[in-house]
Chains A and B, each alone.
Chain A
Amino acid sequence: MSFFKNITNKSWERKGIIGGLKPEGAFDTSPEKVALSFFLVVATVVFSLFTVSYFIRMELPDWQPLTEPAQLWFNTGLLVASSILFQWARTIANSDSPRNIKTAFIGGGVLAILFIVGQLVTWGNLQDAGFYMTSNPANSFYYLLTGVHGIHLLGGLWVWSKSSIRLVSGSEPQEIKLSIELCTLYWHFLLVVWLVLFAILSNT
């Protein structure tokens, strides 16, 4: 591990320039990607703590499990497709020919919007069926977890929309390559988070 090697350096003994132009110990990637990686860790902590709270609260006697709507399977499909399109866009951006980049990148985002719409529809259906937020902690957690996931996705869509506008208004894919890559990473992360949340919600 280079980190452990780094922090055992006897810096008072080593004089002169160490390392090349890149500072020793820096990640070999863009600062934006490092920042996003840290943010993903922070978001993981947020979701983990919500999940832990879910399990602790579940043990208490008033908990009545909620039967998750079957529509969630459809929504999950949308999010998976969205992630696949983003991955496709990333592959195109790394290749020489920019064909289909708009379809892939913009299509991915549109599917994500549809996912959010689908989630809102499940909320509406649950409300109509009498599963209100306050009627049971299981319901509260359903709205809370899906809501927090949705807000993270909306944040991603904000970045996506800025890049999409640039793409439509004629920017070369090379110019927004970094943005495409970061969006893809973020989308995959949110897909994994959703799959975990979905698994927990439907098995409890």
Chain B
Amino acid sequence: MAYVPLADRDSEMEMHHPHTWVGKYVWCQDHKVIAIQYGSVAIFTGIVGLVLSLLFRLQLGFPESVSFVDPSFYYQAVTMHGMIMVVYLLTALFLGGFGNYLIPLMCGARDMVFPFMNMLSVWVFLLSVIILMASFFVGGGPTGAGWTLYPPQTSMAGTPGHDMGLVLMLVSLAVFIVAFTMGGLNYVVTVLQYRCRGMTMMRLPLSVWGIFVATILGLFAFPALLVAAVMMLFDTLLGTSFFMPAIIESGQAMDYDGGSPILFQHLFWFFGHPEVYIVALPAFGLVSDVLSCHARKNIFGYRMMVWAIIAIGGLSFIVWAHHMYVSGMNPYFGFFFATTTLIIAVPTALKVYNWVLTLWEGDIRMNVPMYFAIGFIFTFIHGGLTGLFLGNVVIDLPLSDTYFVVAHFHMVMGVSPVLVVFAAIYHWYPKMSGRMYHEGIAKLHFWLTFLGTYAIYLPMHYLGFLGVPRRYYALGTTDFIPQSAQDLNAAITVAALIVGVSQLLFFFNIIWSLRFGEKAGPNPWGAASLEWQTPETPPVHGNWGDSLPTVYRWAYDYSVPGAHEDFIPQNTPESEEPTVQEEHFNPDQDDSLANV
């Protein structure tokens, strides 16, 4: 079939404008509604994950204070917390939520390429969440094998939820991967084929680049999880021995023989490491746009930022075994993976430098999204530096099973992306809702979250150096864990409770402002990228009114010397560029420059 250019097809593009409430908000093919559905389901699941974490934190800080948190429940809560946060919250929220909302708007498209498949994606995602939640209600409860689901212990009687809980987890993951693949193909093809006229790849905002590359990573990495989940399902349900070795359970030989648990670990981490970047790359992209906009400065080193995203994406596929140093491996193998792990720090550090240089001498506006974005730079540097420790085999071995690792990955892929999620929600909320949130509450939310997470995770580094083991239901009394460490644990729990409860501020603010927030106007931040230039706010179905926009410049024309305003939207032609010279610039009379 000959290619019909998008702009020519515009008039014939079918827009199914829904007329009923159900058509508009339930079975809806509009990418913006789908984005909010994706985001809501992901955030709801995330709240479940958050509550679970508070329950097991209570057990750690104040042992046996909550009667139903017994060892089984503890492990189930830890497992579900991990899986929910990594896959069902962050992956779904960044790609399904922000990806869906921003890609068509930032590319200048009317919708995703395949709107029906997009709608299917969100409903299949919901199905996967329902299956996951169902495991709380089956006999034996959800799996308590740890989010990594390592065999053989996943399937042994000593592990809570080793039968139905595990099966539901694996089925839910497989269904999630189907949903993600449907959505992912949409995001990739939309970015490649549905950009508007003049929108070259290098004019795309970094948000789109981050989401685009992360989606490609997801498309190539999730199959590894699918393969592992399918083979583990066979082991569990049909009695094959792909992963299960010959093993004795409570004195009885189990019906397995010869399987390779290490094979599972390789498959899992071949998915698991790119997964870190599936979460991180969209965060990198979104935070770049937030920083640039609120610093009124173009992003420093745009091309480098794009290259770094691509380089990180590529490298992320050859570092997976650094999660397996303690599993035992050929020393040269460890050497290789330690080297690649340290190499990936180069493009990542480059990005951090560029964020800081974007702020350098910028006209920084301390709006709420900026608080979270700058907070992200702190937490990400912090988590990244501890990653340099753990990337080395000799340092990883003693620290691997301690709270140091918990502190590291929560700083780098827990707190950091979540701060970006908040930055992005606060940044795009005026576009999504047409209203502004309450700034005071939002700032209070920031300080409680930012300082609170430091109060949680900073002491964990110290606990890790002491050698306090992770994954333990109770620490008991041992010589190497002094009373001060126990007290620290209690303090961490108090901080976690405060941070957990303070998220209510966020939800209250977002819901309250929908109705009572000030009207925001189409472009309250003075942003240059395309999504702020829609004819209506919030954008309606079809996004662009009668004709698609045309793009004349990149997304970062902020504080251009000689320009009338401190930003030039992407769809402003060169000829209409209002320059100061043309208007007989007189600094005393020019109000717009008076604030600069």
Kindly state the separation between the CA atoms of A7 and B57 in the bound complex, as whole angstroms: 47
Q: Which of A37-72 contact B (CB under 8 A)?
A: 38-39, 41-42, 45-46, 49-50, 53, 56-57, 60-63
Beta-carbon contact of A12 and B3 below 8 Å = no
Beta-carbon contact of B189 and A35 below 8 Å = yes
Beta-carbon contact of B113 and A31 below 8 Å = yes
Q: Which of A1-55 contact B (CB under 8 A)?
A: 6-12, 15-31, 33-35, 38-39, 41-42, 45-46, 49-50, 53
Complex interface bits, B513-552 against A, C-beta within 8 A gives 1, otherwise 0: 0000000000000000000000000000000000000111
**How many pairs, one residue from A and one from B, have CB atoms within 8 Å of each other in the complex?**
163
Beta-carbon contact of B193 and A27 below 8 Å = yes
Beta-carbon contact of B263 and A7 below 8 Å = no
Q: A6-B201, A17-B552, A35-B114 are in contact. Are A23 and B219 (CB under 8 A)?
A: no
Return chain B residues, CB-CB under 8 Å to A22. 3, 5-6
A97 CB–B CB distance under 8 Å: no
Beta-carbon contact of B259 and A137 below 8 Å = yes
Return chain A residues, CB-CB under 8 Å to B198. 16-19, 23
Return chain B residues, CB-CB under 8 Å to A195. none
Beta-carbon contact of B552 and A38 below 8 Å = no
Q: Which of A60-111 contact B (CB under 8 A)?
A: 60-63
A122 CB–B CB distance under 8 Å: no
Beta-carbon contact of B226 and A23 below 8 Å = no
Kindly state the separation between the CA atoms of A41 and B219 in the bound complex, as whole angstroms: 9
Interface size class of B (residues with CB under 8 A): 35 or more
Contact of B241 among A35, A61, A140 (CB under 8 A): A140
Kindly state the separation between the CA atoms of A63 and B242 in the bound complex, as whole angstroms: 11
Beta-carbon contact of B185 and A60 below 8 Å = no
A203 CB–B CB distance under 8 Å: no
Q: A22-B3, A23-B200, A46-B227 are in contact. Are A7 and B189 (CB under 8 A)?
A: no
* B186–chain A nearest beta-carbon distance, Å: 8
Q: Which of A120-178 contact B (CB under 8 A)?
A: 133-134, 137, 140, 144, 148, 177-178
Return chain B residues, CB-CB under 8 Å to A28. 3
* Known pairs A17-B552, A49-B267, A148-B230 / 15 extra A-B pairs, C-beta < 8 Å: A7-B307, A9-B200, A11-B554, A12-B557, A19-B198, A23-B196, A23-B199, A26-B192, A35-B189, A38-B189, A42-B219, A42-B220, A133-B238, A144-B230, A177-B1
Ranked nearest first, the 8 interchain pairs of A and B with the lowest CB-CB distance are A62-B258, A21-B5, A23-B195, A11-B202, A11-B554, A140-B240, A9-B202, A45-B223
A–B pairs, 17, beta carbons within 8 Å: A11-B203, A12-B302, A15-B552, A16-B198, A16-B574, A22-B3, A22-B6, A23-B199, A23-B200, A27-B192, A35-B113, A35-B188, A38-B188, A133-B240, A137-B242, A140-B240, A140-B242
